[in-house]
Structure 1
Amino acid sequence: MTGVAVHLKGLRRTFGSVHALDNLDLAIAPGELIALLGPSGCGKTTALRVLAGLEDADSGQVLVDGRDITPLPASKRDMGMVFQAYSLFPHLNALDNVKFGLSLRGRSRSATRAQDMLDLVGLGGFAARFPHQLSGGQQQRVALARALAIEPRVLLLDEPLSALDAKVRVQLRDEIRRIQTEVGTTTLFVTHDQEEALAVADRVGVMRAGRLEQLAAPAEIYQSPASAFVAEFVGLSNRLPGTVAGDEIEVLGHRLPLITPASSPPSATALVRPESVLVEPDPDGEARVLTTSFLGPISKVTVTVGEVVVVAQVASDRLASLPAGAPVRVTLAPSPVALA
């Protein structure tokens, strides 16, 4: 299957005084997976629903493969959808659930196609099971198979993993990416989970108040955020006081390059990632370990440098050398930083 281009062009949608979409412009390349990320109320689900035809925009256009489909109802848009709620028919087994959309379209060989889709999502041996006999993750795989079975031109995923436990969520997000890459369907994935968005998407769109703050590859979103909002929303950041000089800022005695040259006053706040903070035991160090938190392979160490509190990420096997109260030396890696 070859993906199609999608363009949400100048979309506006208001609910009373709230601008759910504020002149949103989003272009998705054929076969691309875009993840829309942002806090509740930012407009990401509204954008998906407008694309699906489940919500009308006040103005703007929805273009698919260059064709304006804005006037078309959802039933005529040829899109597959997977929601947070699996919405499987409890009286149908897995195979018949997947066949349902095919049957409505009068597709021949619908049983073969449905079985192929169950095989694709790793449930080939579960065709005869009913939803109550499947785990949450398995039910969501059936829902994904059903959406793909009709060979939609666009696949829409609205927080499809948020109801699952952490381990299943990670497994299924990787499966979704594998399947989407294999099938090649243009996909819009809406989530509030930043790790999920960074893991599955070709590009991530960070939304705020109905607008795109930034649309870029996951690594660029994380390493070169276009605004303080993106820097703080995607990943954790220390807010550290510093002094701006040209295209650098001096923080805790270290000169760090700025992602964007500042036009702000000399005194500013730098957003420094915890992984850019290096903590070493030092009997002469002026910093002190405040607390440590074991988080698996990587742990969190909070230190005080004078009156400034700094959070660092360290390998967990180093925690024994960094007990609470221990004197340490803090060094900042020369990674580019954003300003708050």
Structure 2
Amino acid sequence: MTFQERPLDRDASSVGAAGGRDTVPTPTSNSVAVHLNGLRRRFGGVQALDNLDLEMAPGELIALLGPSGCGKTTALRVLAGLEDADSGRVLVGGKDITELPANRRDMGMVFQAYSLFPHLTALQNVEFGLGLRRVRSAQRRERAGAMLDLVGIGTHADRYPHQLSGGQQQRVALARALAIQPQVLLLDEPLSALDAKVRVQLRDEIRRIQLEVGTTTLFVTHDQEEALAVADRVGVMRAGRLEQLGPPDEVYQRPSTAFVADFVGLSNRLPGTVSGDRVEVLGTALPLVPGAASGIGSGAVNALVRPEAVDLAVDPDGRGRVLAASFLGPTSRVSVAMPDETMVVAQVASALLPELAPGTAVRIELRPVPVVVEAA
């Protein structure tokens, strides 16, 4: 058994809250559907895109998530026109733009690097794209000012990039991308260079602005929490293909493959036995995610169980022994050793930590949450 930790500090209820939107994207007259159809792209011996299909509804924000080299940035660059696909088509608003150069695709882009002109003020940076489109000076200034207000730094319009913090520079870059009123907004890991607190603040601002403006948006990130927090749908990529595409709560709570369950969030790998549509793990019969045992059949497997689906209770007769605990604020993760050398990690309220000192005997119970399995 292995326990693989990913940078995602949330429990199932918080993910459900993030995935179940109180607001939905509001398409505007400028919102368009996007369809990536059968895209293939190879770099030497690496298949970056392998017959990738992706449909985006008007005004939708889709986040592409996956490990390095999975093809998520290549997909964005092909959509932007910065890379040519070996085969396949790119359609925006029903129009085939596969052969159009990047400067004719009407897309706004924000990258990890802020790419601001150092000799221009924030306002002038935002005006730049409008100037290329020959928008009149007064209209440029009005539009740029409105965009800076939208991203929350209108009072910094006359500052140069070196006078702005990293988060403020990224807001200017976002305002510049939105100022041209693009059909599609492309965000390529725009927050990865920022510190954690600013990253959370700005990701929430990006979501607020995207909902307000209604622009169809593709957001590429390696940060699972970002993807789950901002997207209408999350696409998990692997080796150039989509492993799963769905609402954030569905991807987290009902992963379609062991890869998705392992990559998104935290997972215990626990030995179990499949029989029919259930798997027995630590003496508890757990339901399987539909199709989870496809190609595996009955017999010995590893079940991927979320830490928040593990309950602990102090019990002198319990079979488990607490090894260690990690304090994470309102919740903590507790590692428990079982007699067969299996280690189980549970997520508990931090208020319970005083009862769970190392060496404490505990009883483990698994909640009947659907799980995915992989061959043992």
After TM superposition, the score normalised by the length of structure 2 is 0.90
1:48 to 44, 53, 76: 76
1:45-92 Cα shifts (integer Å, max 9, x gaps): 000000000000000000000000011000000000000000000010
**Shift, 1:317, TM fit:** 1.1
For structure 1, the 5+ residue unaligned runs are: none
Do 2:107 and 2:182's aligned partners in 1 also have CA atoms closer than 8 Å?
yes
2:347 maps to which residue? 313
Q: Which amino acid aligns with 2:363?
A: R
1:91 maps to which residue? 119
1:206-265 Cα shifts (integer Å, max 9, x gaps): 000000001000000001111010010001100000111110011001110000353424
Three-state SS of the structure 2 residue aligned to 1:55 is coil
For structure 2, the 5+ residue unaligned runs are: 1-27
2:286 maps to which residue? 256
Is 1:204–2:245 an aligned residue pair? no
Three-state SS of the structure 1 residue aligned to 2:109 is strand
Do 2:276 and 2:298's aligned partners in 1 also have CA atoms closer than 8 Å?
no
Q: Which amino acid aligns with 2:131?
A: S
Q: Which amino acid aligns with 1:25?
A: D
CA distance in 2: counterparts of 1:293 and 1:13, whole angstroms:
43
2:330 maps to which residue? 297
1:339 maps to which residue? 373
Is 1:220–2:253 an aligned residue pair? no
1:177 maps to which residue? 207
1:27 to 40, 43, 55: 55
1:187 maps to which residue? 217
Do 2:244 and 2:256's aligned partners in 1 also have CA atoms closer than 8 Å?
yes
Do 2:275 and 2:298's aligned partners in 1 also have CA atoms closer than 8 Å?
no
2:321 to 288, 297, 315: 288
Decide which moves more: 279-288 or 328-337. 279-288
**Shift, 1:330, TM fit:** 0.6
Q: Which amino acid aligns with 1:133?
A: Q
Structure 1 ranges of 4+ moved more than 2 A: 260-265
Q: Which amino acid aligns with 2:303?
A: A
CA distance in 1: counterparts of 2:191 and 2:69, whole angstroms:
19
1:129-170 Cα shifts (integer Å, max 9, x gaps): 110111000000000000000000000000000000000000
Do 2:322 and 2:359's aligned partners in 1 also have CA atoms closer than 8 Å?
yes
CA distance in 1: counterparts of 2:166 and 2:350, whole angstroms:
32
- The 5 Å alignment of 1:68-79 reads 68-79=96-107
- The 5 Å alignment of 1:227-246 reads 227-246=257-276
Q: Across the two proteins, how many residue pairs are aligned to each other?
A: 340
Q: Which has the higher contact order (CA 8 A, sep 6+)?
A: 2
Three-state SS of the structure 2 residue aligned to 1:8 is strand
Is 1:105–2:138 an aligned residue pair? no
CA distance in 1: counterparts of 2:282 and 2:259, whole angstroms:
23
2:179 maps to which residue? 149
2:5 maps to which residue? none
2:42 maps to which residue? 14
Three-state SS of the structure 2 residue aligned to 1:293 is strand
2:14 maps to which residue? none
Do 2:244 and 2:251's aligned partners in 1 also have CA atoms closer than 8 Å?
yes
CA distance in 2: counterparts of 1:315 and 1:281, whole angstroms:
14
Among the aligned pairs, what percent are the same residue? 73
CA distance in 2: counterparts of 1:291 and 1:137, whole angstroms:
37
Q: Which amino acid aligns with 1:66?
A: G
Structure 1 vs Structure 2 CA RMSD: 0.8
Is 1:322–2:356 an aligned residue pair? yes
1:80 maps to which residue? 108
Three-state SS of the structure 2 residue aligned to 1:144 is helix
Do 2:36 and 2:89's aligned partners in 1 also have CA atoms closer than 8 Å?
yes
After TM superposition, the score normalised by the length of structure 1 is 0.99
Three-state SS of the structure 1 residue aligned to 2:290 is coil
CA distance in 2: counterparts of 1:276 and 1:42, whole angstroms:
29
